[in-house]
A = this chain, B = another copy of it.
Amino acid sequence: MTAVLPPTLVVGCGLIGTSVALGLRSHGIDVHLVDADPEHVRVAVARGAGVADPVSDPALVVVAVPPRATAEAVRAALRDWPDAVVTDVASIKGRILAAVKGDPGAERYVGGHPMAGSERSGPQAASGQLFEGRPWVLTPTNGSADASVRLVEEVAVMLGGVPITMDADAHDDAVALVSHVPQVVSSLTAARLLNAPTSHLALAGQGLRDVTRIAGSDPSLWQDILGGNATAVRDVLGAVRADLDVVLEALDAGRDLSAVLKSGREGAELLPGKHGGARPELVTVFVQVSDAPGELSRLFARVGGSGVNIEDLRIDHELGRPVGLVEIAVLAARAEHLVDVLTQDGWTAYR
């Protein structure tokens, strides 16, 4: 199948809509942009994401407005453009599908959710490469037209996404588990830090930073997402609360609570490893580096020269001293070699 026919209409020029538009433009597709906020359109146009001129007959409409407004925008697009395929990018799918189902033209709608984002928002933060290698969930139904499904899938692939077809409700259950509930839990943990003495926060380490990183996300967007997936989120959060009650009772009664901790460890081990494959046995090599331009360059030049591949890495934030600790995860069988190479080169490296 050849490329999407121009013109394409992108409705909503936030982070995701503008990123879609930039990606389509990089494939030479004629993109038209609309947004309730003219400033968003202006920025998106200035960034080369498309034109603000009206369009007479789009082949594709991509709805990229906030989740709470998505269903109505999809329905309007189906009405306004009777020949267009319509997709959206909202992170909830069941409610939108339910609202659209039964509408004239519903067979031209194929729900989508590119699982990419940024801690920043708006067209300024957009990038045509945002979707590279990310899952892009598609939620067609039995009633969807084959040509519509193929077109939306082609767009996902064109923008670098990995299309995954799922039932809309299964999608919502999945993101409740892997995205929405972790978001709530992160926020709940970070909220405890308010009003804590500075001397207590000074003891924070990487574990707390990791758990609370996503708590920095946009509250109003997340209100919208959580409200739109309330049933699925509630189910998972209710189970979290039941386990939390077990922990609280065990603490009160001085009973063992390691069953929950064991379940947590087993659950964490189920997460797919790098590139979605099975998780190989990795070992972390720690290397001290000074906080100056060029130090990491020198380190990775040496690591690269050793022939040992870096599977993952992290810079740890140290307290009160201008030195960084780099944690390099490598295949277990290669760790000793790497430590030897770096130590001989004068680095402080250890497993």
Contact = CB atoms under 8 A, between A and B. Distances in A.
Given A211-B186, A293-B309, A320-B133, A174 B203 contact: yes
Given A203-B164, A241-B244, A251-B234, A268 B178 contact: no
Given A264-B187, A267-B192, A273 B317 contact: yes
A115 B292 CA distance: 25
Contacts of A305: 294, 297
Contacts of A288: 129, 132
Contact of A208 (B179, B300, B304): B179
A332 to B, nearest CB: 11
A307 B296 CA distance: 11
Interface string A46-68: 00000000000000000000000
Interface in A207-238: 207-217, 219-220, 222-223, 226-227, 230, 233-234, 236-238
A243 interface: yes
A267 B190 contact: yes
Contacts of A258: 219-220, 222-223
A258 to B, nearest CB: 4
Dominant SS at the A interface?
Answer: helix
B186 A240 contact: no
A234 B324 CA distance: 34
Please state the number of chain copies in the assembly.
Answer: 2
Interface in A296-330: 296-310, 312-315, 317-325
B178 A200 contact: yes
A102 interface: no
Interface of A: 115, 118-119, 125, 127-129, 132-135, 137, 162, 164, 166, 170-171, 173-175, 177-179, 181-194, 196-197, 199-205, 207-217, 219-220, 222-223, 226-227, 230, 233-234, 236-241, 243-245, 247-248, 251-252, 254, 256-258, 260-276, 284, 286, 288, 291-310, 312-315, 317-325, 348, 350-351
6 contacts: A132-B325, A215-B261, A219-B262, A275-B319, A293-B306, A297-B304
The 4 closest A-B pairs by CB, nearest first: A297-B304, A187-B264, A133-B318, A193-B267
